Amino acid sequence: MGPMNPRTPTHAIEPQFLSRWSPRGFDGQPLPESEVLRCLEAARWAPSSGNSQPWRYVVTLNGTPAFQAVWAGLAEGNRVWAHRAGALLVACSLTSSLKRGERKPLGASAFDAGAAWMSLALQAQAQGLAAHAMGGFDAATVGAAIGLGEHARIDCVIALGRPDPQAPLSAELRERETPNDRLPLADWVRLDRWTFPEA
């Protein structure tokens, strides 16, 4: 965690949870495949329902037609900065699996894929990289770009790369280029019973 990180935990935790954040300023250099593989290796060891490992990743490196095709499917607000990511990863999860010839829905696959993505993000941080998840994309465009399988969904597109504090950003995005805060535990944890106020 750099000296500029304003995050303060209310209970003692490992610093990696505070130092990981999602910048938009990247250096524009394609990532070496080995660096991407290290991040994916961390995701590999994530827990999953029945060890089903239902996450699927398509990796595209900056400078390739595949990268361009995925980038083109991003929302405008993401395209303006994500073109400088070293790689765009399309994080998918299986919606069903074949068990003894029968197709069964995989109810926990998004939860499992979420765990894998978090491992990837923390590993990226440890490598001096950053991972920024994006839900802002057109599913049909990105799905067509990667040839999405029939029994899978795209959970998000991940911009992975080396952060660059000098990267050109609009004034509005520059303003947000710092770790943000979180709700207090008291807002979302209860002992024994659900006593959350209605939303």
Interface residue list for ligand FMN (CB under 6 A)? 21-22, 78, 133-136, 156, 179-180
Name the minimum Å distance from CB 2 to ligand FMN. 13
Q: Which amino acid is at 162?
A: R
Return the number of the residue (8 or 50) whose C-beta is nearest ligand FMN.
8
Return the number of the residue (60 or 78) whose C-beta is nearest ligand FMN.
78
CA dihedral 29→77→118→43, nearest 10 degrees, is -50
Return the number of the residue (18 or 69) whose C-beta is nearest ligand FMN.
18
Question: Residue 185 has which token pair?
Answer: 């535990």
Name the minimum Å distance from CB 100 to ligand FMN. 33
Return the number of the residue (35 or 155) whose C-beta is nearest ligand FMN.
155
Question: Residue 4 has which token pair?
Answer: 């500029």
Return the number of the residue (183 or 191) whose C-beta is nearest ligand FMN.
183
Name the minimum Å distance from CB 113 to ligand FMN. 10
Name the minimum Å distance from CB 48 to ligand FMN. 18
Using CB atoms, what's the residue nearest to ligand FMN?
136
Name the minimum Å distance from CB 21 to ligand FMN. 3
